[in-house]
Amino acid sequence: KALAATKMLAQRFAKAGWQVERTASAGGLVGFASPEGPLRGIRYDSCVPGNFHPGITMAIVLGGDGTVLSAARQTAPIGVPMLAINTGHMGFLAEAYLHELETVVTQLLAGQWSVEERTMLVVTLLRGDQRRWEVLCLNEMALHREPLTSMCHFEVAIGRHAPVDIAADGIILSTPTGSTAYALSAGGPVITPEVPVLQLTPVAPHSLASRALVFSDQEAVTVFPATPERLMMVVDGSAGCYVWPEDRVLIQRCPHSARFVRLQEHEFFQVLREKLGWGLPHVSKPKGESA
């Protein structure tokens, strides 16, 4: 479906006098490093496709939320806005659907669109002064124990504040966009996209006092694994590497934002209602009447 839609869109825009470039979203899939394999000690902007440049008007992304997360790594460093057209399942980040393509093309050619910016993070794995692994993040960074190992301990330093110790199966550091993803499943609050904050959420904490913490996105976060076993770090569900006791993870707000094309005013609460069922009225049914 995505390939057929890509062909149709390329033809329509070329006919209107636009130059069309194509690339696969797989270029934004950093992948998972093996424990013994070499790590990619290169900068986060290495995912930008060779045929992309800052002068591109927009990137049309066809796929599900995973494709959008991958495309964000390819477009954010050069400031190209993305129009997400859902061909997947949830489509939480999508702006339009395949059956709306004709209307979408008409609006785009007429210039009837705007851009919404979303916070992204730079996640860097460090050992001493050496950058061992780095990637862009739109949703969250999760650092957790491996299967069949015990609970882990983390020392987390947020900006100028005193470090905190967390005993849990893992921790999640998320953006407002990521507050409706893994962090939500772990009990964190939903944060509207325009709020300039980050969220730290423990996963299965071994304390009644360990709860999600929301703080300014101007604060860099450093996580020190205070446990003798290796840990697994997963970023946006599609990239990751092992973290050893001598490593540390640095998370900072990226100077580049993910830029989303909006064809109409974006109503976040409506998206929550449609995708996650938030705020739906509870209507009791008379006895014997099916729902």
pLDDT of residue 16: 94
Is residue 287 in some structural domain? no
Question: Do 187 and 139 reside in the same domain of the chain?
Answer: yes
The first and second tokens of residue 238, run together, are 């599609």
pLDDT of residue 115: 97
**Averaged pLDDT of the chain:** 91
pLDDT of residue 289: 59
Question: Do 247 and 267 reside in the same domain of the chain?
Answer: no
* Residue 115 belongs to domain with CATH number: 3.40.50.10330
Q: Are 176 and 152 in contact (CB under 8 A)?
A: no
* Residue 195 belongs to domain with CATH number: 2.60.200.30
How many Cβ atoms sit within 10 Å of the Cβ of residue 278? 13
Question: Do 79 and 114 reside in the same domain of the chain?
Answer: yes
Question: Do 115 and 130 reside in the same domain of the chain?
Answer: no
Q: Are 152 and 167 in contact (CB under 8 A)?
A: yes
Identify residue 76 by its one-letter amino acid code.
A
Phi, psi values for residue 248, rounded to 5°: -145, 155
pLDDT of residue 285: 62
Closest alpha carbon to 157 in 205, 219, 246? 219
> Domain limits at 240?
121-253
The first and second tokens of residue 283, run together, are 């209507």
Give the pLDDT confidence of 223-259 residue by residue, as tens digits. Answer: 999 988 899 999 999 889 999 999 999 999 999 999 9
* pTM of the predicted structure, to 2 decimals: 0.91
Indicate the number of domains in the chain: 2
- The H-assigned helical ranges of the chain are 2-15, 65-75, 101-109, 182-185, 268-276
Question: Do 226 and 270 reside in the same domain of the chain?
Answer: no
Question: Do 114 and 30 reside in the same domain of the chain?
Answer: yes
Question: Do 31 and 95 reside in the same domain of the chain?
Answer: yes
Give the pLDDT confidence of 116-142 residue by residue, as tens digits. Answer: 999 999 999 999 999 999 999 999 999
Give the pLDDT confidence of 11-20 residue by residue, as tens digits. Answer: 999 999 999 9
Q: Which of 28-37, 59-68, 83-92 has the lowest mean pLDDT?
A: 28-37
Phi, psi values for residue 235, rounded to 5°: -115, 120
The first and second tokens of residue 213, run together, are 């913490």
Residues 254, 260: Cα–Cα separation, whole Å? 16
DSSP letters, 68-97, are HHHHHHHHGGGT--EEEEE-SS--TT-SEE
The first and second tokens of residue 100, run together, are 């709306």
What size, in residues, is the chain?
291
Q: Are 195 and 176 in contact (CB under 8 A)?
A: yes
Is residue 202 in some structural domain? yes
Range 94-109 average pLDDT: 93
Question: Do 65 and 87 reside in the same domain of the chain?
Answer: yes
Is residue 289 in some structural domain? no
Confidence of residue 283 (pLDDT cuts 50, 70, 90): low
Give the pLDDT confidence of 149-170 residue by residue, as tens digits. Answer: 788 999 999 999 999 999 999 9
236 is catalytic: no
Identify residue 246 by its one-letter amino acid code.
E
Is residue 286 in some structural domain? no
Residue 75 has pLDDT above 80, yes or no: yes
Is residue 71 in some structural domain? yes
Of the two residues 269 and 198, the one the predictor is more confident about is 198
Q: Among residues 45, 65, 217, 247, which one is catalytic?
A: 65
Question: Do 196 and 262 reside in the same domain of the chain?
Answer: no
Question: Do 217 and 261 reside in the same domain of the chain?
Answer: no
DSSP letters, 192-237, are -TTS-EEEEEEES-SSTT---EEEETTS-EEEEE-SSS-EEEEETT
Supply angle C-alpha 193, 201, 94, rounded to 5.
35
Is residue 282 in some structural domain? no
Residue 46 burial by Cβ neighbours in a 10 Å radius (0-12, 13-18, 19+)? middle
